[in-house]
Structure 1
């Protein structure tokens, strides 16, 4: 199973082109097992945890098999609007080179806008049960020509009380369809639902969850903007000074680009990915094992053969495609009864995936503050001072005394020492840091009267600001969510649109008051 490539799975060429553009080298276990079953037209139950690559497991074969149509061909039901948006985004990426129209339908959006889009023609609808039922009652969605019905996270929909809604929706879908049900667990009500509405020949694929021992691995994340990702990596490496680290990228291209950027700044680093031949990989791995290489940048597939006991850090430069890969990645540190550190660089849009990883691994991933230039300076200063003291203790500097004496005639020796330390310091820095804080250009800090207790996350807050203030959310800076309130950094020009249009509007059923924050950023 491990040697299977996406190209072996009989997927549409345009879908394969999209998967290649996404940079995935080979299918995850659920993808390798589910895709052939979906393509052969069999009903299927996929029992797998959130984040194992389920969306691609059904999305790739379904999109391979559908064409442009005036009626909805695919209906995906999800328990929450956040998941509906996430699934919609993933399916849109898979359908990038096919003329397939995809739309998320959930509560909180103007229903009139959804009705207009459905009238124009949509092939794939990703929706929450409540809003899909609204459209059925209004006769604004036609489910008579559904070819594929997918129930995503069925157990979560059961927990949220949607089981009756799901049955009502299924009764409105034509019988001549292929049904797929994905669920992490199989409670009795889900089993009854499956036996009632799925074929007797239904195939049950069960993916066994990997266990992860995290006692020796400290897990942290840094909230980053995509444009600052590389500088933040440099800051982390300059402050922590790992003895040996594996840095993970999602794609082969990502590995090559990061290695080039790191080598240009003097890091002792090489890369490993699927396009490299066996000899190249073995040579790189040999250097890494023998400590002739400080940093190894790799894709998940290339890293499978890495068995090194002394890896102090694993850094997820990009989060992986699925949870299983996260488990494999961070398991590369904390070996041989040693402590290990795992860092993840996470954009606000990826925060929901981070929470899923926490749930999947049953561990807490703590937030770390991005190192400041002052902290980097302090680390380098201590390092240089230790080197100087060690050289003085070893008494092997005497041959340079005449030069120092010559300089003493012209300059103050304290100034000379400071100049030499500066030269050493400059050579130790990997990045031309211009600002002390990475978030120094984030402008104004706003205070929101909503927090973790209201079940908000960066993604839902960004969507709220986009829907209410109609702004480009890519300009939003740090999002700092506390229990009862939230701080968000924004450019100054967005202050008035947000205060005028978003303040007083409801999010998660609560009226949100917004004002310019008077206090400084709080630490966790």
Structure 2
């Protein structure tokens, strides 16, 4: 029997429309009818559909297919889907399509010709870069001008881009507000606003800045809010600034878990003096591809990356103490396969959208279930399989108990594990006899030095006074 996904538009008690997937089982239904639809079937214009096809993107994921029809109709949306399910194109395609002028007369009607017509606000620099990259892929065959604006870079190139004219802006709240207050960023033309990863903006204290930006754009606009989780303050903000939003929740019919079913989750109670050795052996597992290791502190990230490089692995660190140029160098090296291990703090939990990350390792227990979700969500993306390994120190067992209960993982007491434990090798397909150093004949990647360190002219380049 085949599964056919149908969509139903509901109206909840608060007057908020809700769009959900439901499951229907039939004997003669065509195989995965919904999955065979193309972007053009949902009203996406040929230029954008062909741009996506050029990149090998032919069929929308569930969150995209559910969002496109509603968003292209100009309705406000609250989109909720698990991390790694394709939210970016779900809001990116409608944003691009609505920013394309019907004719040259459209430009003359704008209050400020050349100013952006779409504003996408994200919490981190890495996510801004990733969203901008996806938008550029989808708009390759159009004449739309997209600009990414975030801190850590020099102001001058961003100001020059705004003066030349921009159609779509992707940026972080702080730099957007700075440029708006300096009168370089004119928001009078904005007719579509997207808030991506709104729960992360709440955690980072950006909600007041977001409300400032929403107050600066025209009152008549389309607003879309996307997030993996929906805490109360985010929902309250949505209802304050949105008009009868449609709440879209996308999930697989047979997957009622909070985490994605494509991710195998392994939790160990490990000793901190043995973790480096355990990680080095996990990195030699069969089929292991790109890997992200999350640490709690910047110092731990730098130290672990240095240790792994010494053991022969192509590793790079990504944390807040690095200048923006070094952060982008590490990300480029990771995406371009110059390094295959990225050791990062939670600054990278959002915004790294690399489809073939096979393993995520939590070097220390995450702070809460939200941090856990966004960390492990870096693997198992775009329909791929992934493995998430979490180390829980003895003193972190109470915290893990709360995370386990909140997510329903059914691992209340992680098994005690050492680098010599037989179950470690069996669980993660590590060849017998593997040691904690990568054999020399397997050291084939260039390392982070294979990518040039770009001088971005940001604050870190200014000489310090004594």
Aligned to 1:467: 455
Aligned to 1:221: 288
| Per-residue CA distance 1:363-402 (angstroms, 9 max, x = gap) | 1399xxxxxxxxxxxxxxxxxxxxxxxxxxxxxxxxxxxx
SS of the residue 1:90 aligns to: helix
Corresponding position: 1:158 with 2:183: no
Change over 3 Å in CA distance of 1:219–1:438 after alignment to 2? closer
Corresponding position: 1:179 with 2:212: no
Deviation at 1:187, TM superposition (A): 0.7
Aligned to 2:444: 439
Give the Cα–Cα distance (whole angstroms) in 2 for the partners of residues 149 and 159 of structure 1: 20
Alignment partner of 1:207 out of 247, 250, 262: 250
| Per-residue CA distance 1:159-200 (angstroms, 9 max, x = gap) | 000010000110001011100000111111001100100002
Aligned to 1:54: 87
Give the Cα–Cα distance (whole angstroms) in 1 for the partners of residues 159 and 206 of structure 2: 23
Aligned to 1:281: none
Aligned to 2:155: 111
Aligned to 1:169: 213
Deviation at 1:63, TM superposition (A): 1.4
Alignment partner of 2:98 out of 41, 55, 65: 65
Aligned to 2:55: 22
Q: Do 2:359 and 2:379's aligned partners in 1 also have CA atoms closer than 8 Å?
A: no
Change over 3 Å in CA distance of 1:160–1:4 after alignment to 2? same
Corresponding position: 1:10 with 2:47: no
| Per-residue CA distance 1:428-484 (angstroms, 9 max, x = gap) | xxxxxxx945638x49x97xxxxxxxxxxx9xxx68x2135x9xxxxxxxxxxxxxx
Which has the larger helix fraction? 1
Deviation at 1:72, TM superposition (A): 0.5
SS of the residue 1:104 aligns to: strand
Structure 2: 5+ residue stretches without partners? 1-33, 102-106, 108-113, 252-257, 268-284, 292-351, 361-373, 392-439
Give the Cα–Cα distance (whole angstroms) in 2 for the partners of residues 78 and 437 of structure 1: 38
Aligned to 1:357: 378
Change over 3 Å in CA distance of 1:157–1:223 after alignment to 2? same
Corresponding position: 1:34 with 2:64: no
Deviation at 1:33, TM superposition (A): 0.3
Give the Cα–Cα distance (whole angstroms) in 2 for the partners of residues 158 and 36 of structure 1: 28
Question: What's the C-alpha RMSD, in Å, of the aligned pairs?
Answer: 3.8
Alignment partner of 1:134 out of 172, 175, 178: 178
Deviation at 1:359, TM superposition (A): 9.3
Q: Which has the higher contact order (CA 8 A, sep 6+)?
A: 2
Give the Cα–Cα distance (whole angstroms) in 1 for the partners of residues 46 and 63 of structure 2: 21
Aligned to 2:397: none
Give the Cα–Cα distance (whole angstroms) in 2 for the partners of residues 436 and 126 of structure 1: 43
Structure 1: 5+ residue stretches without partners? 225-320, 331-341, 345-352, 367-434, 447-457, 471-501, 512-524
Q: Do 2:265 and 2:388's aligned partners in 1 also have CA atoms closer than 8 Å?
A: no
Q: Do 1:220 and 1:365's aligned partners in 2 also have CA atoms closer than 8 Å?
A: no
Deviation at 1:362, TM superposition (A): 7.8
Q: Do 1:358 and 1:365's aligned partners in 2 also have CA atoms closer than 8 Å?
A: no
Give the Cα–Cα distance (whole angstroms) in 2 for the partners of residues 22 and 80 of structure 1: 25
Give the Cα–Cα distance (whole angstroms) in 1 for the partners of residues 263 and 171 of structure 2: 36
Change over 3 Å in CA distance of 1:219–1:114 after alignment to 2? farther
Change over 3 Å in CA distance of 1:120–1:322 after alignment to 2? closer
Aligned to 1:91: 135
Deviation at 1:220, TM superposition (A): 5.8
SS of the residue 1:149 aligns to: strand
Aligned to 2:342: none
SS of the residue 2:169 aligns to: strand
Give the Cα–Cα distance (whole angstroms) in 2 for the partners of residues 363 and 126 of structure 1: 30
Change over 3 Å in CA distance of 1:354–1:171 after alignment to 2? closer
Q: Do 2:264 and 2:387's aligned partners in 1 also have CA atoms closer than 8 Å?
A: no
SS of the residue 2:238 aligns to: helix
Change over 3 Å in CA distance of 1:506–1:439 after alignment to 2? farther
Deviation at 1:213, TM superposition (A): 6.5
Give the Cα–Cα distance (whole angstroms) in 2 for the partners of residues 467 and 89 of structure 1: 20
Q: Do 1:146 and 1:177's aligned partners in 2 also have CA atoms closer than 8 Å?
A: yes
Q: How does 1:280-429 map to 2 (within 5 A)?
A: 356-358=377-379, 363-364=388-389
Give the Cα–Cα distance (whole angstroms) in 2 for the partners of residues 67 and 40 of structure 1: 15
Q: Do 2:61 and 2:85's aligned partners in 1 also have CA atoms closer than 8 Å?
A: yes
Q: Which has the larger radius of gyration?
A: 1
Change over 3 Å in CA distance of 1:322–1:102 after alignment to 2? closer
Deviation at 1:221, TM superposition (A): 3.5
Q: Do 1:35 and 1:61's aligned partners in 2 also have CA atoms closer than 8 Å?
A: yes
Aligned to 1:196: 240
Change over 3 Å in CA distance of 1:142–1:23 after alignment to 2? same
TM-score by length of 2: 0.51
